[in-house]
Chain A
Amino acid sequence: MTVIVSKEKVHSRFTAKVQRLADQNLLACYQCGKCSAGCPLAAYMDIPPAQMIRLAQLGMEQELLDSEAIWLCVSCMTCNTRCPKGVRIAELFESMRQVKLRARQDHLRVADVAAEELQAIPPIALIGSMRKLTS
């Protein structure tokens, strides 16, 4: 991926918003990669967690909001538990999902899930996915 860094992006309102929603300081991350190493969903992500944080530091709004990764993170908290800098990566993923969801850009379409699946899947999974993936 080619990434063009600029002063405008680094100081963008997007970066400020993500930090405010997550109540986190992005610059605390020193890119050790431990969050990516332990993430159970990293293998399925187009951009692994540590790179997501780096892109957020640089204000790469479009790359982040268009990523599959924001929808794959399940807030399992493995990264948060292990980060040596105490960065709450899961909260940062949530804040980026929220930027999309608060603009009514849902990820999950319940209508696309087969009827027999909806019967079989317990409420704990349905409610969880709707809360995380729809507005």
Chain B
Amino acid sequence: MKLSYFPGCTLKNHARNFEDSTLYAMERLGVEAVELDRWNCCGTVYSLSADDLMRRVAPIRNLIRAKEAGNRQLMTGCSMCYNTIKRANIHVRHSAPDLALMNAFMYEEPVDYAGDVDVVHVLEVVRDQIGFQALREKVVKPLAGLKVACYYGCLLVRPKEAAFDDAENPTVLEDLVEALGGEPVAFSHKTECCAAYQTVDKPHIVADKTYQIIGAAQSQGADTVLVSCPLCAFNLDQRQALTRQTYGDFRTLPVVYFTQLMAIALGGPESVLRLDLHHTPAAPLLSAKGLL
């Protein structure tokens, strides 16, 4: 299977652990993910103003790139890119006049966009196009005894029209962990927002959220929290430093990307995990479980 791949800016620098493990896992599963040439930042947050077409141009331009490459699907790993590009796609598919206006604005592009590329998340590709059964058959190192709290945050499940699972009680990550041989735990905070970009000028709010979210995972005996968004990862992992300063009783917990667990279970080399990029080290836990 071949599709276009949109990495987004954060996977290219702070979140190399996400990108390298994603590309490894996709290759092992027989997905040829071809990075777009000349991709541009999607703009991160989807504009919610009815009249703000300008901020939907960047995502649509990436869809034009996928079309140019001859692919009908654009895959992202970053949940935020997924959400932003998908919502722009939904908007133009429902508004012919807006699409025409945007095509006219981008008149130098060799092709017009016609809503004819699907935006898909890595998790969606694994669940719907590969299937958990086929994944299970490729596992060479099951995550035996690893207790995982699956954290969805906001962007995989909201808003409903952009989501590919239930908004209040999604299960795709738990199903993935099970297929990889691990043990998902019940997790009350799986869709509770981590306060997102407030981390820039109000990090104390993120420290509170991290305390609550990590604490909820620990109360269920989780060894690690699994994420799909580099901003969730930053807030739940890097911000553990501030959380520790703020709350005397806070205990740290490793945070990993779902693709890192996929890469491990599929027999990947340690180099694709980039465990050096974690704030709270994940290596001791993984070694103790016999996974490194």
Contacts and interface: CB of A to CB of B under 8 A. Distances in A.
A4 to B, nearest CB: 29
Interface residues of B, number: 45
A122 B234 contact: yes
Interface of B: 8-10, 13-15, 41, 43-52, 55, 78, 80, 154, 158-160, 167-168, 191-193, 195-203, 205, 209, 229-231, 234, 238
B230 A122 contact: yes
Given A120-B238, A121-B234, A77 B15 contact: no
Given A21-B50, A80-B159, A127-B43, A74 B195 contact: yes
Contacts of B203: 117
A125 B48 contact: no
Interface string A84-96: 0000101100110
Interface in A74-108: 74-78, 80-81, 88, 90-91, 94-95, 98, 108
B43 A131 contact: yes
Interface of A: 20-23, 40-41, 44, 72, 74-78, 80-81, 88, 90-91, 94-95, 98, 108, 112-113, 117, 120-129, 131-133
Nearest to B238: A120
Given A22-B50, A74-B196, A129-B197, 18 more contacts: A20-B51, A21-B50, A21-B51, A40-B192, A44-B202, A74-B197, A75-B48, A77-B159, A81-B167, A88-B48, A91-B49, A98-B49, A108-B200, A122-B13, A123-B13, A124-B8, A125-B196, A131-B43
